[in-house]
Amino acid sequence: MTAHFFRPTWPLPACQVMASALALALMSPATTHAQPQLEALGATAQGLLDHALRNSPDIRAMRAEAAAAAQRVEPAAALPDPVVRVELMNANNYGNGNTPSLLPWRVGETKYTFMQSLPAWGKRELRRDVASSETRQADARADASWDELAARIKSAFADHQRLFGSEKLAHEVVDLMRRLEQVALARYGSGLGTQQDVIRAQLEQTALQSELITLQGERRQLAARINALLARELSAPLADPLPPRAAPGVQALTTLTTADALTLADRARSRNPLIAAELARVAAARSSRELAQRNRYPDVLLGVLPSQMGSRLTTWGVMVEVNIPLQQGARRSQEREADLVVSAAQARVDAMTQQLLGELGMGLAGLDSARRVEALLTTQLLPQSQLGLQSALSAYESGKADFATVLEAQRQLRRARQDLLKAQAEVQNRLAEIERIVGEEL
């Protein structure tokens, strides 16, 4: 950037007024939005979640699979279809004119058999229980898929807020550095500053412009990722985000007790869909084991056998058929297999529970750290940085400090505000992870 130097005509007090106004502007906290955009997609995480719930093909697929599983419950408990058999005896009418026929009343004798298979007592109910457990498992898997997608959307939205705030902060600092350049020019014109001060202000603006280009590129990439999660066109626009939400249900981390963590752990055990899916698998395995034990008892096939001669039913018969359970070795193997399946399913429940509780502990620890950093920045570092900048500007006005001191103080304040944006994004990321584990909004 080429510097154009001139000597302004305003007096020295005007320079001091401008520097004081600059100090107030630099100490103003960065806002994350200009006007509320409650209706625009991208302004809030809830709006993104609602859109994803309506339009995500993955969620529709999982819900359709769960609905398909629910349709298997009734058939699982239904009786087998009955069987009808028709036998034409002496269809060639031997000894009776020898005229073949396929009409029941024109053959020597027609036998009808109506058969119905009846499973042993309790088998139909157990099959229904297995199908119901598989339905619950499919529902839980669908819920888990939604929780995973929701956590990814919340995390992406937190990054959306951070990048928007960082870009807005960079714009503000660019504007402020231009004003600071005017102050340096005014001091240079009054013989109180140096040309180097003006050059430094211009170099700072150039560096900020480069950072702005990087931030804008990151925002475009993030917008594409969010749109992909929402099943939208990758180039579809997103609204500027509103400020981060608070952390409902979780107190300030300085007061979060062990009891609070245990409460969240209990909620995760009872409501996490991954655990619910594994518990449904256990229930299905137990019903399958009992069904394998019921296979020791034979099914029954009942039949009614009327016979027709001419146009009259002449005789009736009754049939009972059972299978003889002689292969007990094979059945015992099936029962042992069912026992092992139950043990494996229960072990998976324990493993899943321990894994999720471990992740919950890590999430709470990360949330605690992020909230503490946020509190430290808000209550100490930001005020200290603001005072440091104000002091540096005052010293620069009075000739007791050089321009480099003012730049360093401005950078320190900017770093503090950037760290605050990162801490706020980390809080939202950790909350999203905790809510995924707990299985519900906090």
Check the CA dihedral 118-119-122-128 and report its sign: negative
Question: Would you tell me how many other CB atoms lie within 10 Å of the CB of residue 142?
Answer: 23
Which helix H or strand E contains 383, and what residues bound it?
helix 382-397
Mean pLDDT score, 190-199: 77
> What does the alpha-carbon distance between residue 88 and residue 309 come to, in Å, rounded to a whole number?
10
pLDDT, residue 258, reads 64
> How far does Cα 216 stand from its chain's mean position?
26
Percent of the chain's residues with pLDDT above 90:
25
> What does the alpha-carbon distance between residue 284 and residue 119 come to, in Å, rounded to a whole number?
19
One-letter identity of residue 261: A
Q: Label residue 405 by pLDDT band (50, 70, 90).
A: confident
CATH class of domain segment(s) 12-27+41-79+119-438: mainly alpha
Say which DSSP state 314 is in: E
> Is pLDDT of 229 > 50?
yes
> What does the alpha-carbon distance between residue 124 and residue 84 come to, in Å, rounded to a whole number?
22
Question: Residue 88's beta-bridge partner residues?
Answer: 110
Question: Would you tell me how many other CB atoms lie within 10 Å of the CB of residue 404?
Answer: 13
Q: The tokens of 438 are what?
A: 């707990």
**Helix ranges (DSSP H) in 112-194:** 123-189
> Is pLDDT of 12 > 50?
no
pTM of the complete model beyond 0.75? yes
Percent of the chain's residues with pLDDT above 70:
86
